[in-house]
Each structure stands twice: as C-alpha cells, then as structure tokens.
Amino acid sequence: MVYFIAKRLIQSVFVMLAVAFLAFSLFRFVGDPITQMTGVETSVADQDRLREELGLNDPFAYQFARFTGDLLKGDFGFSYRTRQPVAEMIATRIPATLELGIVALIISLVVGIPAGVYTALRPRGIATQAILMATLVGVSIPTFVIGIMLIFFFGVQLGWLPTFGRGGTVKLGGWETSFLTIDGWRALILPAFTLGVYQLTLTMRLVRAEMMEVMRSDYIRFATARGVPMNRLYFKHALANTMVPVITIIGLQFGGVIAFSIVTESVFQWPGMGLLFLESIRFVDIPVMGVYLVVIAFFFVLVNLIVDMLYVLIDPRLRIRDVS
C-alpha cells in the first residue's frame, strides 16, 4: 500500500511539473513579457536592462527551474492588467469557487446516485424512461441556458432568489464563506444547481450502468436464490460494489465542476476564479492564466490522490494484493 501511494505521489509530481511547464511556456512565448510590462516610452536600453534583471537572457532550463522554484515559494508574479500580485488575486477568489463547486458536487451525488439505482432496478418502468429522456435533454441543454432559465423563473418571475453575486459573506480568517448566512445560502442555490445538473446526469448514467452490470453477476443471482431480502440485496450487496467507479467519477467530476464553474460564474457574476480566468483571457493577462492552470491542476491532482487512497479503504482486495 505504501508502494501504491508512493507511486501515485510520484506520478502526481510529474503531472504538476508538466502543467508548470505549460504555464511557463505560456508566460515566456506568448507575447514578449517585457513589452507587456513596460510602456511605449521605455527606451530600448531600459528594456534590455529589465530583461537582464529578470533573467530572461538565462538558459531555458535555468529559467524554468527558477519559475518552478518561485511557484513552490508561492511567488506567482504580477498581473499584466492590474499590476497586483497574482497570488493575492487568486487567493481571494478561491473560496467562492470551491464553495460553489462542493455544493454542486453534493447536489449531483445526492440526487444522481439514488436516481441511478432506481433506473437500474426498474429498467422498463415509465418513471425510468422519463428520467432517461430528461437526462438526455439535460446533457443537451448548455450550462449557461440552464442558468438563464433558473434566473428567469426563480429570480425574475417569482423573485424568490438573488440572481447574481454571493450575497452575505462572513470572513473566517482569510476565507470568505457564504455558508454562515441565510443570504449567502440563498445566493448559492441557483448557481450550485446550474453547475450540478450536468454532473448529475453523468453520475446517474454511470451508477445506472454499473448497477445493471453488478445485478447480472453470479453472486447477486446466488444471493437472490438464497433468499436475501431485496432491500438488503440492492443496497448492501449491489450498491457497495458500484462504489469504486463512482468514487473515480467524483475525482474526474471535480475537474468538470471547476471548468464549468467558469460558465456558471459568468452567468451569475459569481466572484470566483473562473470569472477571473475569463477576464484574464479577454485581456491576454498571461501570468493570471498560467497560475489559474497551475492552481486548478493542483486541486485536480490532490482530489485524485485522495480518491486513490479511498480505493484502498473501500476495496479490501487492494490491501490484500499488496501483501502477496
């Protein structure tokens, strides 16, 4: 098991290095950093001096090593657009995106797993056909349209919920949370649901496919023959064995949630990282784009590492294989 985790850790480090390299190439080769940092009136001599000071004339590998070192120290450079430290800009945006993503993920699991189990157990039922058709439509409606529709019905027509921003937030240390006020929760509902719908359909389809596969297996048939009560059979024997792929998908979905939060944040003017990333693309603010990538990749790698460790907890076979 130690070997397994160590192997995953090393792989993760390589993924992070690859992403850091991408971010570095962005910074170094998309446009000239010097022209971005200086104005029109800066003389050529001054530009050259700055180039030398920043070490842009050093060998490529050396520059990349320094870039990675700076990243590790938390020094993410300065934005071309606002001239603020990128680390600060991203850090203030992280809580908004993470809270939105986590609530969306919970919605997708709490609704998606039971729906998947139900549709797998009653494949010919009318409700199942309706749910399956609804998921097909759900997959086809773009996230931003779902957002607009929710804004229209619950925000404009009914006037129940706020349609933009985070509402009331409370500062806990450096973390600005909307979990502690009613206003914050109200503002969170529509964006989280918008973000969760697409993931929900994926969760449901996966759980359904896995569950149907498991229900066909010999040990379930044997358990049925033995007279194990149906509910116990479904939820203890069958569902437990669908959990490994479901946990995998949570890991993958986390990436999806973060990426689609760009769209959701844009529709609801949610002040998270996604909105910042969009602004930075519009203004070709390369340092912010690069750091956004690195931060996203870091979360992604971290979640997948945790998922891998959960496997070992859930699936006893993995523990045994290690011993032999």
Partner 1 sequence: MLAFIKRYEGLWLFTRSPAVIIAAIVALVIIIGAVFAPWIAPINPYDLSSFSLTDGLLPPVWEEFGSEEFLLGTDDQGRDMISSILYGARLSLIIGVCAMTIATVLGVGLGLAAGYFGGRFDAIVMRIADIQLALPAILTALLIDGIARGVLPPEMQQNLRVTVLTIAIALSLWVNFARTARASTFVQMNKEYVQAALMQGQHPLRVMFVHILPNILGPLLVIMTVDLASAILLEATLSFLGIGLPADSPSLGTLIRIGMQFLLSGEWWILWIPTLFLVALVVSINVLGDFLRDVFNPRLR
- The answer to whether the beta carbons of residues 292 and 276 sit under 8 Å apart is yes
Q: Specify the stretch interacting with partner 1 by CB under 8 A; choose among 2-10, 56-64, 65-73, 135-143.
A: 135-143
For residues 193 and 277, which CB has a smaller minimum distance to partner 1 in the complex?
Answer: 277
Confirm or reject binding of residue 131 to partner 1 (CB under 8 A).
Answer: no
Token pair in block for residue 69: 């070192």
- N-to-C CA span, the chain: 11
> Which of 196, 256, 271, 272 touches partner 1 (CB under 8 A)?
256
The minimum distance between CB 324 and partner 1, in angstroms, equals 28
Binders in 278-297 for partner 1, by CB under 8 A: 278, 280-282, 284, 286, 289, 293, 296-297
Residue from 236, 144, 122 nearest 191 by CA: 144
Instruction: Tell me how far apart the alpha carbons of residues 242 and 89 are, in angstroms, rounded to a whole number.
Output: 41
For residues 32 and 58, which CB has a smaller minimum distance to partner 1 in the complex?
Answer: 32
172 membership: H or E segment, kind and range: strand 170-172
Say if residue 2 is exposed, middle or buried (CB neighbours under 10 Å; 0-12, 13-18, 19+).
exposed
Instruction: Tell me how far apart the alpha carbons of residues 21 and 74 are, in angstroms, rounded to a whole number.
Output: 16
> Which of 6, 9, 259, 302 touches partner 1 (CB under 8 A)?
259
**Helix spans in 30-125 (H):** 33-37, 44-53, 60-73, 86-121
φ, ψ (nearest 5 deg) of residue 160: -85, -40
For residues 148 and 228, which CB has a smaller minimum distance to partner 1 in the complex?
Answer: 148
DSSP state at residue 243:
H
> Which of 79, 143, 194, 199 touches partner 1 (CB under 8 A)?
143
The minimum distance between CB 141 and partner 1, in angstroms, equals 5
Binders in 146-175 for partner 1, by CB under 8 A: 148, 151-152, 156
The minimum distance between CB 98 and partner 1, in angstroms, equals 17
Confirm or reject binding of residue 271 to partner 1 (CB under 8 A).
Answer: no
The minimum distance between CB 250 and partner 1, in angstroms, equals 14
> Which of 6, 106, 141, 180 touches partner 1 (CB under 8 A)?
141
> Which of 140, 173, 218, 323 touches partner 1 (CB under 8 A)?
140
The minimum distance between CB 45 and partner 1, in angstroms, equals 26
Confirm or reject binding of residue 108 to partner 1 (CB under 8 A).
Answer: no
Token pair in block for residue 23: 């971010």
Burial pattern 64-102, b for ≥16 Cβ within 10 A else e, equals beebbeebeeeebbbbbbeeebbbebbbebbbbbbbbbe
The minimum distance between CB 131 and partner 1, in angstroms, equals 14
Q: Which residue shows structure tokens 């069958």?
A: 238
The minimum distance between CB 212 and partner 1, in angstroms, equals 10
177: helix, strand or coil: strand
Residues that bind partner 1 (CB under 8 A): 15, 18, 26, 30-31, 133, 136-137, 139-145, 148, 151-152, 156, 255-256, 259-260, 262-263, 266, 277-278, 280-282, 284, 286, 289, 293, 296-297, 300
